[in-house]
Structures are given as C-alpha cells and as structure tokens.
C-alpha cells in the first residue's frame, strides 16, 4: 500500500576502495611495498646491490580495521626462490592506516609501513 506504480530509485551508501598500497620502510629508507587488492596481498622488497629481493603473497586478506596483529605471509628470495621466513604486519594506527612489519626467519628485518588508497 502506498507504493508508486513505476520504478523507484533507492539511494544507498556505497564506498569502494580500489588498490591499497603499503609503503614499507626500514628506518627512514624505503624498503619495499605491498599491495592489497581483491582480498589478496603481495609484498615485494626493492632489490639490494646484488639484485636480490624478497617477495611473498597471500589470499583471503581483508583490509586492516583494528589495532594489533593484522596479517602474516611466507616470503622467499627472487633467486633461486628459497623461503626466507615470514613477514608479520601489525596495525598501530587505523586513521591514517599504518603500522610495523617484521620478517622472522633466515633473513631478519623490520620497519614501519603506511597505507595509501587508490580509488577507482
């Protein structure tokens, strides 16, 4: 009762974030980056002087929404692809989204990260 005969447009709140990029730092120097898109994360370090870099990925990763441990994933080197341990991300700030990271394994490294959103 009381409904119009024709089509009705219903306004809805909708917000979509495209790709989230995490800038990874070791001290004040850029160390690498991560991208979060379509519930997957990919992490890659910048190559060192020997052209060695580290990479890792994991599916089923949501965006960080609260403080504390967020996600961890296995890491490997680029050649010959040997596992080096796992990288662990912790959220220390939700707005702006930022935190710390740490690789634990045969390679040990740590630093901070800050997120940037790219809207479609």
Nearest-angstrom CA–CA distance, 31 and 26: 6
Domain count within the chain: 1
How far is residue 30 from each of residues 5, 10, 51, measured CA to CA in Å? 60, 46, 16
Tell me whether residue 97 is in a domain.
Answer: yes
Does residue 9 belong to any structural domain of this protein?
Answer: no
Torsion of CA 56, 70, 20, 52, to 10 degrees: -30
Q: What is the pTM of this model?
A: 0.81
User: Which pLDDT tens digit goes with each residue over 30-56?
Assistant: 999 999 988 899 999 999 999 999 999
| Domain range for 111 | 19-118
pLDDT digit string, tens, across residues 85-104 = 999 999 999 888 999 999 99
| Within-domain flag for 37 | yes
Is residue 6 one of the residues assigned to a domain?
no
């Amino acid at each position: 009762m009381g409904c119009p005969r024709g089509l009705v447009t219903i306004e809805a709140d909708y917000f979509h974030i495209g790709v989230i990029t995490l800038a990874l730092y070791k001290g004040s120097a850029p160390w690498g980056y991560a991208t979060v898109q379509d519930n997957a994360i990919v992490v890659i370090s910048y190559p060192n002087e020997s052209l060695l870099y580290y990479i890792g990925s994991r599916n089923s990763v949501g965006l960080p929404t609260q403080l504390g441990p967020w996600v961890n994933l296995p890491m490997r080197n680029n050649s010959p692809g040997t596992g080096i341990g796992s990288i662990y991300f912790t959220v220390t700030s939700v707005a702006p989204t930022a935190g710390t990271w740490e690789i634990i394994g045969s390679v040990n490294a740590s630093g901070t990260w800050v997120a940037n959103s790219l809207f479609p």
